[in-house]
Structure 1
Amino acid sequence: MLKHNLGYPRIGIYRELKNACEDYWNNKNDLNNLFEVGRKIRKKNWEVQNKAGLDLIPCNDFSFYDHVLDMTLLLGVIPEEYMSIPNNNDNMNLYFSMARGFQKHGWDIKAMEMTKWFNTNYHYIVPEFNKNQQFFIFSKKIFEEVNEMKVLLKSTEKIKPVLIGPISFLFLGKEKEKYFHKMDLIDKLVPIYIQIIHELQKLGISWIQLDEPILGLDLSDREKEAFQYAYKKISKISSDILLTSYFDGIIENISLIKDISIKALHIDLIEDPNQLSKIIHFLNKLNITTTLSLGIVDGRNIWKNNYNHSIKIIKKSIDYLGENRVMIAPNCSLIHVPIDIKLENSIDHDIKNIMSFAKQKIYELVDLANIIKGEEKILLENKNIIEEYKNSSILNNEVVKKRVAQISGQNFNRKNIFHIRQKKQKDKLNLPYFPTTTIGSFPQTKEVRVIRNKFRKKIINKEEYRNKIKEFIINVIKKQEEINLDVLVHGEFERTDMVEYFSEKLQGILSTKNGWVQSYGSRCVKPPIIYGDVSRKNDMTVDWICFAQSQTVKPIKGMLTGPVTILQWSFVRDDQPIHDTAYQIALAIREEVLSLEKNGINIIQIDEPAIREGLPLKKKNWKYYFNWAIKAFRISSSGVKDETQIHTHMCYSEFNDIFEHIADMDADVITMETSRSKMELLKAFSDFCYPNEIGPGVYDIHSPRIPTVKEIFNLIEKASKKLPIRNIWINPDCGLKTRKWEEVLQSLKNMTEAARIARIKLANQSH
């Protein structure tokens, strides 16, 4: 029974990759230094997995920015405008320009579009296809890393290169021309995959992992045809393929493999444990001798594996298939979890004892293999740890459980419908057409981080810390007034992260010190851990927001993170229904919303950027999800008066198919990412006749380039042709925390100037 892994975190145990990339972008180090950091991380990752005793270790799962972008370069899918960028021998200028844009030496090229990787909080760079797209091997990264790994391991026996499969790669991309379908490119793409496989075989590789998470979706006939075409061609030239899918079950699409020859099939038994029996039955009925890889260690959560449960699955599979046809692995890549729980020294022992990060999950595979060999002591120890935790008083708060049980219909609805609220809000707020605002955060400079760090280490006391944060707030209010924004924010200088901040102030949630997970590029987050019943102890934001309001006559927007996003961007307890946890968080946020309103804050933003990513991959499961997710948001937002304006924010996901549910949230204003896609999303909003106000992001904050007044005005004009002018807000795509002040100030000045011009040229035309 082979033990293998699908992918390992690539940021480095202390975020070495983040620091190296950002230093390179800021000209603080050179390419050689960047590459050396990459080599050290890869070496450490391979050594950890090899030492643990894995039989197959992933290669090419490392990336300097994004594995989808790596695949895009490997296949030569490079938009024409980037080919002219001044490059270097290793194509890194090209690579990072596609991800971040390029604005220097007279060049001004935007970054490529970015969106969420299926239903995760990982963001990928979207490949772009045209009708006459040509594919060819452009990047040599995968072959170089195979050779690098071969030197370290002194063999190719354990090396398993990882590639995004051809169907998922096309699915993840976007047509940049009309009147063709990206799946029509499959006949041009497959020969390049075959060429890559041949090159890997020449290097002595006998296992090649092709990731096809698209198999967990509701596939169209066109996608099914493309899959069968591709894998019939590939299987004719190679039987070394481990076909891998994750994030959902594949039983609806299992028939697609009946006429292809693959070495092994990997299935996700965390997301869909019920598919195992059906897949075993399918394989045996058709006498398919493919090996089955069981995804039984959770690669998206941090709880210790229940060995008793996993052993039952393994034994059942061995009974039907034989031990030589069974492999075990995490259900998906481990990039979605932190690296090593041993670095956490401040977590309560009883909670830490039940947790498992990436390194520990590798050893869980080894434990399971040893239990199968007869080491029952490991099984007993695991059972005792899990039982002890389930019965712990740490988890349960009966008062919180009772509050959730008492939730009724009146908790879900505002007092009046939107058009009544809108009139009252316009009278109270007296904002101009095209009101300008930001999403919430402003640059978290080194000075801000140093002050927070000194406070945490008790180098400065609470009063000194608060006085310094007040200085930052006073300064940012002044800057916003000078820029002439209409609705201001306090800047969020007291917050490390939009979810972590609230986790530190809510009971039943904890934060880690080194639990970093990659979100996109060099952006890393520390997902909190929801280990018990959640409740609010005290006001969480009111003092800071009210202090900011005291510094200006303009309205200050209270900034909160919504219940679904806190849930989705945390590691969530798995011992109760997820909707119960969501409602607990929603009730806590509702209390904070009401406290802000009571203290005179008339605009409150409850961010829900994760509302789309929590959506199950299969539409048959959407109803259950939206039933609790929308209710959770409305619980948090619906207790206020009509005059109080509720905003929400969403970003970097596909929203075209969920507009009715976004409308059901009944936020007065929704701000969204639209600039990278050049406002394409607004057509769908217009077609749907979205009833409430919208702030379509007019510039991309994930790129360092500064947008011009003209391009922002053009986007506003485009929006005004799709939406009622009275309903349009002007704002950036997302928060400004990761940007530099010089970029932010000029970009916002251009934004407010474009809004001023729009009021003259567009608003006047509407009368």
Structure 2
Amino acid sequence: MLKHNLGYPRIGIRRELKKACESYWGNKIDSKKLFDVGKQIREENWKIQEKSGMDLIPCNDFSFYDHVLDMSLLLGAIPESYKEIVHDTTNDDSSSNQKIEIYFAMARGIQKKGLDIKAMEMTKWFNTNYHYIVPEFYKNQKFSIFSRKIFDEFEEAKKILKSIPKPVVIGPVSYLFLGKEKEKENFHKMDLIENIVPIYIKVINSLKKRGSNWIQLDEPILVFDDLSKKVVEAFQYSYQEISKHCSEINILLTSYFDGISENISILREFSSSINALHVDLIEDPDQLEKVLSFLSDTKMILSLGLIDGRNIWKNNYVNSIKNIERSIKVLGEKRVMIAPSCSLIHIPLDIEYEYSIHSDIKNRMVFAKQKIYELKDLEDIMKGNKDLLSQNLMSLKKTKSSFLFHDQKVKEKVKQVRDLDFQRKSPFNIRQKKQNKKFNLPVFPTTTIGSFPQTKEIRTLRNKFKKKEFSQEEYEKKIKEFIVYVIKKQEEINLDVLVHGEFERNDMVEFFSDKLKGFISTENGWVQSYGSRCVKPPIIYGDVTRNKNITTKYICFAQSQTEKLMKGMLTGPVTILQWSFVRNDQPIFTTAYQIALSIRDEVKDLEDSGIQIIQIDEPAIREGLPLKKKKWKFYFDWTVKAFRISSSVVKDETQIHTHMCYSEFNDILPHIENLDADVLTIETSRSKMELLESFSKYSYPNEIGPGVYDIHSPRIPTVKEIFDLIKKASNRFPIKNIWVNPDCGLKTRKWNEVMKSLKNMTKAAKIAREKLLNNPILNNNQKS
């Protein structure tokens, strides 16, 4: 029974990767130092896994920015716009400096050396909070091996490890599926399968020549329940070709994030082409019997995803052992492997670095390092060590009766929620008239999504306050100085609706979780979100309630410093839930409603304090959507209710905004409308507002703020670019319903970038008012 891992966190225990990348981008270190840091992280990861007794240790799971972008470079899938960087780059090893420049330009954009190229589109990795760079595809596109990273890291791992490493790559069908066609007519991205598979065959055979005996091909799209005929045919072609041309190497086909029961019939067509199949038994334990029935007629090995790769709670060894025993009974011990459910990049590295968590809570938690040791425990239990099983049972049992985890008053409060708690007093068209009369804003009103740059000075201030080097009074005085500064800056560039900057907030979720009962925060529980962006997801261990006001003090102070409207900024209940590690001992919707009731109290406090516009951010609603459509109805039932519990307490005249990130809305627009927010702001600039086509076809009735510039890139957008995007939006929506705003919050950007970009944004809005308001050729639009 082999133990293996699908992938390990790559940021480093002290976020060494983040610091190295940002130093490289800031010209503080050269590429050699950057590569040295990457090598050090990889070596440490391999040694940790080897020490745990892992049989198959992954390589090529490390990335300087994103593993999907790594695949694009490996396959030479580099868009035309980057050819100016590519033209003098060769495929030999000496070109690594140029390649890393191309790589980061694709991820972040570039505005130097006479070049001005936007970053590639970025979106969420399935239903996680990880982001990937979306590949771009063109009709008749050719592929070739461009990057040597996968081969270099395999050779590097061979020198470190006593066993042969297992290279990890995204499978050809999922890679194409995750990309986007840039030519719409007579072209489907799956048409490229015959062009791309030969490159995969070259990569696999090159690894085989170097000594590889296993390769992991990730095909997570196998969990979808609506794969098209083209996708099914692509699977059949790909794996039959790979099997035909790649002998004497074991192919491990992996799926994760849900079950594959609906797609077993696809696998039948090429079951002899793969040596092992990995399934996720955390997300779908019920699939096991169907998978076993299928595999019993094949020679395939079954890899059981038993350890939760997306949450931090201890494994229930009893359940895992039952699944192992059942699988061995059907297939035999030699045809069973055990592993985490998915890559461990979604969880923190090592709980040994947490010193302040209550022992009863910490005793239930495990991070990536501890999870790979859980595999060793399961192996030892199967060999007869029943003490490990008893210890695991005892630690889990302790949770059920602890007062730390359960609050009966909170549970009763959720039970008392009624239908009226989900409803605004009046429909949107009535609310809009009241709000327009009250606010008297210009057409194309400008605002931001909320946060402003979190400089080193601000982070140092918060850290010193946390260490009690500042008194409460000194800290509040400093924060208010930052707020006054950001209000003046916003007034200088003539924004219409202002924000207070969120300088008191470390993270949009962690800030609230720190002040809600039932949550804990970690000291070093960092997880990669995208590139160098790391977050520390809070942990929901018990029943959630709000004991006191969280935001009113600073937002009301900010409103007192300006005559313009000030937005109250809150994080929504679904996002707080999705971006936390959630307790697994009660239904997820129960926890969502507990959080929603806490945010509802905060909304009411803001309104009672005179705040007239309140933004409840829900960037995670789309990302949490189940991958199987049959589960959507239940999901939207509780997520929409949770949002409406939090937002429906206000009067008609109070305007509710919400913000969503990286969202493919096509299939879910009725549910987005059902949130009943007065204003929806969304990210659209990287895709050149392609997303708005869905909204306009659907005739989205409420107000909308399509992001007009990409905040995830340091590139400064021009006035013309922003105006063109406003004009594009005006062709799709009534002008009276359009807001002008950036794609997302500005906390990760620098002040000089922010001010130049926002000045260009307000200039573009002014031009739009002059040129578009009375333009007779604007389709389907009427000024109010």
Report the TM-score, using the length of structure 2 for normalisation: 0.97
CA distance in 2, matches of 1:396, 1:124: 37
Aligned residue number for residue 477 of structure 2? 467
Q: 1:175 aligns with which of 176, 181, 191?
A: 181
Please tell me whether residue 107 in structure 1 is matched to residue 115 in structure 2.
Answer: yes
| Aligned-pair CA distance for 1:132 | 1.8
Q: Is the 8 A contact 1:135 1:192 kept in 2?
A: yes
Q: 1:137 aligns with which of 142, 145, 164?
A: 145
- Counterpart residue identity of residue 46, structure 1: W
Give distance in 1, aligned partners of 2:457 and 2:74. 40
Distance in 2, matches of 1:322 and 1:647, equals: 57
The alpha carbon displacement at 1:325 in A equals 0.4
- Indicate the residue corresponding to 1:397 in structure 2: 407
Task: Give the Cα–Cα distance (whole angstroms) in 1 for the partners of residues 663 and 537 of structure 2.
Answer: 19
Decide whether the 8 Å contact of 2:306 with 2:340 is kept in 1: yes
Q: 2:221: which partner in 1?
A: 214
Shift of 1:153: 1.6
Measured in 1, the distance between the counterparts of 2:635 and 2:375 equals 31
SS at match of 2:116: coil
Tell me by how many angstroms 1:484 deviates.
Answer: 0.3
Could you list the per-position Cα deviations for residues 675-728 of structure 1 after superposition, in whole angstroms to 9, with x for gaps in the alignment?
000010111100000000000000000000000000000000000000000000
Equivalent residue letter for 2:179: G
Aligned counterparts of 1:24 and 1:132: Cα–Cα separation in 2: 36
Asked whether 1:288 is paired with 2:298, we answer yes
Equivalent position amino acid for 1:131 in 2: K
* Greater Cα shift, 690-699 or 382-391: 382-391
What amino acid does structure 2 have at the position aligned with 1:688?
Y
Q: Does residue 1:483 correspond to 2:493, yes or no?
A: yes
Shift of 1:221: 1.1
Aligned to 1:571: 581
The reply to whether residue 434 of structure 1 matches residue 444 of structure 2 is: yes
Match of 2:685 in 1: 675
Query: 1:119 is matched by which residue type in structure 2?
Result: N
- Are the equivalent residues in 2 in contact too, given 1:76–1:136 (CA < 8 A)? yes
**Percent identity of paired positions between Structure 1 and Structure 2:** 70
**Alpha-carbon distance, 1:81 to partner:** 1.2
The residue aligned with 2:286 is 274
CA contact (8 A) 2:449 2:742 kept: yes
Other-structure match for 1:663: 673
Shift of 1:114: 0.3
Which amino acid in 1 is paired with 2:626?
Answer: P
Aligned counterpart in structure 2 of residue 186 of structure 1, from 190, 193, 201: 193
CA distance in 2, matches of 1:684, 1:309: 44
SS of equivalent residue, structure 1 residue 591: helix
Match of 1:158 among 157, 161, 164: 164
Q: Which residue among 256, 268, 277 is the counterpart of 1:265?
A: 277
Deviations 1:170-209 (Å, cap 9, x if unpaired)?
Answer: 0000000012000010011111111111000000000000
2:606 paired residue among 593, 596, 599: 596
After TM superposition, the structure 1 = structure 2 runs for residues 125-524 of structure 1, keeping only pairs within 5 Å, are 125-154=133-162, 157-179=163-185, 180-217=187-224, 218-238=226-246, 239-260=249-270, 261-284=273-296, 287-524=297-534
**Aligned residues of 1:83 and 1:94 also touching (Cα < 8 A):** no
Q: Secondary structure at the match of 1:103?
A: strand
Q: Partner amino acid for 1:170?
A: L
* CA-to-aligned-CA distance 1:54-75 (integer Å, 9 cap, x gap): 0000000000000000000000
What is the rounded CA distance, in whole Å, between the counterparts of 2:402 and 2:620 in structure 1? 30
SS in 2 for 1:339: coil
* Aligned residues of 2:158 and 2:164 also touching (Cα < 8 A): no
Instruction: State how far apart, in whole Å, the 2-side matches of 1:390 and 1:498 are.
Output: 30
Tell me, in whole angstroms, the C-alpha distance in 2 between the residues paired with 1:331 and 1:501.
Answer: 30
Residues in 2 aligned to 1:722 and 1:143: alpha-carbon distance in whole angstroms: 48
C-alpha separation between the residues in 2 aligned to 1:623 and 1:17? 40
Task: Using the TM superposition, give the Cα deviation of residue 222 of structure 1 relative to its aligned residue in structure 2, in angstroms.
Answer: 1.1
User: Aligned to 1:604, what secondary structure does the other structure show?
Assistant: strand
Using the alignment, how far apart are the partners of 1:436 and 1:549 within structure 2? 17
Structure 1: stretches of 5+ with no match in the other structure? none
Deviations 1:456-486 (A, max 9, x none): 0111111111000000000000000001000
How many angstroms does 1:256 deviate by?
Answer: 1.6
Residue equivalent to 1:50: 50
The answer (yes or no) to whether the contact 1:270–1:295 under 8 Å persists in 2 is: yes
Post-superposition offset of 1:572: 0.2
TM-score by length of 1: 0.99
4+ long deviations beyond 6 Å? none
Out of 548, 551, 562, the position equivalent to 1:538 is: 548
- Measure the CA separation in 1 of the matches of 2:715 and 2:74: 26
Alignment partner of 1:660: what SS?
Answer: helix
- The residue identity in structure 1 corresponding to 2:651 is K
Shift in Å, 1:257? 1.9
2:72 aligned residue: 72
d(CA) in 2 for partners of 1:374, 1:237: 42
Q: Among 641, 664, 686, which residue is 1:631 paired with?
A: 641
Distance 1:604 1:740 in 2: 26
| Per-residue Cα deviation, 1:481-528 (whole angstroms, up to 9, x for no partner) | 001000000000000000000000000011101000000000000000
1:76 Cα deviation from its structure 2 partner? 0.3
Residues 561 and 608 of structure 1 are in contact (CA less than 8 Å); yes or no, is this contact kept in structure 2? yes
Q: Which residue identity does 1:662 align to in structure 2?
A: I
The residue matched to 2:659 in structure 1 has which SS? strand
Q: Distance in 2 between matches of 1:477 and 1:210?
A: 51
* Structure 2 equivalent of residue 21 of structure 1: 21
Structure 2 residue 51 is the aligned partner of structure 1 residue 41: no
Q: CA RMSD in A?
A: 0.8
Amino acid at match of 2:195: K
* Residue pair 1:55, 1:158 contacting (<8 A) in 2 also: no
1:254 offset after TM fit, Å?
1.2
Separation in 1 of the partners of 2:517 and 2:354? 19
Other-structure match for 2:779: none
Distance in 1 of aligned mates of 2:115 and 2:172: 33
1:118 equivalenced with 2:88 (yes/no): no
How far residue 584 of structure 1 moved from its aligned partner, in angstroms, is: 0.3
Is contact 1:533–1:581 with CA below 8 Å preserved after alignment? yes
Residues 651 and 672 in structure 1, CA contact (< 8 A), matched pair in contact too: yes
Question: Is the partner of 1:695 in helix, strand or coil?
Answer: strand
Q: Secondary structure at the match of 1:108?
A: strand
Using the alignment, how far apart are the partners of 1:146 and 1:658 within structure 2? 42
Q: Does 1:580 align with 2:586?
A: no
- Which residue of the partner structure matches residue 740 of structure 1? 750
Q: Which residue of 2 aligns with 1:81?
A: 81
Once residues 310 and 757 of structure 1 are traced to their aligned partners in structure 2, the CA distance between those partners, rounded to angstroms, is 63
Partners of 1:337 and 1:448 in 2: CA distance: 27
Shift of 1:330: 0.3
Aligned twin of 2:105: 97
Verify the 8 A CA contact 2:164 2:211 in the aligned structure 1: no
Query: Which residue of the partner structure matches residue 605 of structure 1?
Result: 615
Kindly state the Cα deviation for residue 654 of structure 1 after the two structures are TM-superposed.
1.5
Structure 2 residue runs of 5 or longer lacking an equivalent are: 90-94, 776-781
Query: C-alpha distance in 2, partners of 1:153/1:83?
Result: 38
1:274-314 C-alpha deviation (Å, 9 max, x unpaired):
00011101122xx2010000000000000000111111111
Give 1:589 shift.
0.2
Question: Which deviates more, 259-268 or 634-643?
Answer: 259-268
- Taking the aligned partners of 2:523 and 2:673, their CA distance within structure 1 comes to 38
Instruction: Kindly provide the amino acid, as one letter, of the partner of residue 569 in structure 1.
Output: W
